[in-house]
C-alpha cells in the first residue's frame, strides 16, 4: 500500500513538473511570436551549432535569424569585425528627412573595419576651424573618448561642413566616399571612426595583422576633435605619454591615415 502511494505521489509530482514546463514553453513561445525583430535578436545569443557554424537562433534547431560575426574574423563587406555588442548599440542619426545626408538612428551590433593601403597621407582639414556638433573633448580620459556609435553622425557633419567650405579629400570625405564590393554586394555605408571606435581597432591589432600599420603609418585620424586647432588621432604603436594612445594632431597641416568603418 505504501509503495502504491509513493508511486501515485511521484506521478503527481511529474505531472506538475511537466505542466509547469509546458506552461513556461507556451509563455516563451508567445513572447517570441510577439517580439519585434530587435527583441528577437536580444533573445537569441550567438552560439556554435551542431555543424560548427557560428549562428544566431532562438533555440538549437530553430530557424537561423542571421549570421553571427566574431571579432577578429571577416565581416560581410570583406573587412574585419573589431567590435561586437550582443544587445546592440545606438548609431546616432543625422539631420531630418530631406536634409543632405540624412539617416535615422538605428541599432547596430558590430563594427567592421576595412584595410586599404591607399588611404594614407590624408589631411583632417585644410583650415583650422572648430566644427559645431561633432564629438569634442579635451582630455583622453573624458568619457566621450570611449563613446561608440557617434562616428557616422560626426562624419556626415564633417562632410557637409567641408563641402560648404569647398574642401576636398579630407579624412571624413575619403571615408564617406569609400565603397567596397564583396560577394556581389556593394557596401557604401563607411565612415571615419570616432575616438572610441578607433580605439576598438587599436585593441584588435594584436589579433589581425593588417590592423597593425605599415612602417611610418602609425597615426590614424578619428572624427573627434579637441578644439579649433586639433583633432584626435590614434597612435597605434603605443606610447605611454598619450592616455589610451590618443593625441591631438594639427587639423590644417598634419597628415595621417584612415581606417573606414561601418556599423551594422
Chain segment 127-159, per-residue pLDDT in tens:
888 999 999 999 888 999 999 999 999 999 999
Provide the 3-class DSSP secondary structure of residue 246: strand
Do 173 and 250 reside in the same domain of the chain? yes
**Residues 8 and 107 placed together within one structural domain of the fold:** no
Tell me how long the chain is: 264
The answer on 134 and 23 residing in a single domain is no
Contact 186, 96 (CB under 8 A): no
Q: Is 129 exposed, middle or buried (0-12, 13-18, 19+ CB in 10 A)?
A: middle
Which cell goes with 54?
557560428
- If one counts the domains in the chain, the total is 3
Q: What are phi and psi of 44, to 5 degrees?
A: -125, 80
Give the pLDDT of residue 63. 47
Judge if pTM exceeds 0.85: no
Residues 16 and 128 reside in one and the same domain: no
Q: Do 216 and 240 reside in the same domain of the chain?
A: yes
> What average pLDDT score do residues 75-97 get?
91
Question: Are residues 54 and 86 both part of a single domain?
Answer: no
For the residues 9-24, what does the mean pLDDT come to?
43
47 and 9, same structural domain?
A: no
The answer on pLDDT for 20 being more than 70 is no
Amino acid at each position: 500500500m505504501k509503495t502504491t502511494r509513493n508511486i501515485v505521489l511521484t506521478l503527481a509530482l511529474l505531472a506538475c513538473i511537466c505542466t509547469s514546463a509546458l506552461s513556461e514553453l507556451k509563455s516563451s513561445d508567445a513572447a517570441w511570436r510577439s517580439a519585434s525583430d530587435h527583441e528577437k535578436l536580444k533573445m537569441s545569443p550567438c552560439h556554435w551549432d551542431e555543424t560548427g557554424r557560428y549562428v544566431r537562433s532562438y533555440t538549437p534547431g530553430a530557424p537561423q535569424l542571421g549570421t553571427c560575426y566574431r571579432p577578429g574574423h571577416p565581416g560581410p563587406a570583406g573587412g574585419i569585425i573589431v567590435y561586437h555588442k550582443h544587445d546592440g548599440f545606438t548609431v546616432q542619426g543625422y539631420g531630418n528627412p530631406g536634409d543632405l545626408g540624412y539617416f535615422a538612428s538605428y541599432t547596430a551590433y558590430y563594427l567592421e573595419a576595412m584595410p586599404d593601403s591607399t588611404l594614407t597621407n590624408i589631411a583632417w582639414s585644410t583650415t583650422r576651424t572648430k566644427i559645431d556638433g561633432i564629438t569634442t573633448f579635451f582630455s583622453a580620459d573624458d568619457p566621450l573618448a570611449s563613446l561608440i556609435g557617434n562616428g557616422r553622425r560626426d562624419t556626415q557633419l564633417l562632410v557637409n561642413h567641408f563641402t560648404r567650405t569647398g574642401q576636398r579629400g579630407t579624412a571624413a570625405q575619403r571615408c564617406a566616399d569609400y565603397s567596397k564590393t564583396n560577394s556581389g554586394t556593394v557596401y557604401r555605408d563607411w565612415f571615419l571612426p570616432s575616438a572610441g571606435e578607433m580605439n576598438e581597432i587599436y585593441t584588435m591589432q594584436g589579433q589581425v595583422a593588417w590592423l597593425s600599420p605599415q612602417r611610418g603609418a602609425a597615426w590614424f585620424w578619428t572624427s573627434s576633435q579637441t578644439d579649433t586647432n586639433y583633432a584626435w588621432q590614434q597612435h597605434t604603436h603605443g606610447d605611454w605619454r598619450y592616455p589610451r594612445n590618443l593625441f591631438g594632431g594639427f587639423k590644417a597641416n598634419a597628415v595621417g591615415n584612415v581606417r573606414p568603418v561601418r556599423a551594422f
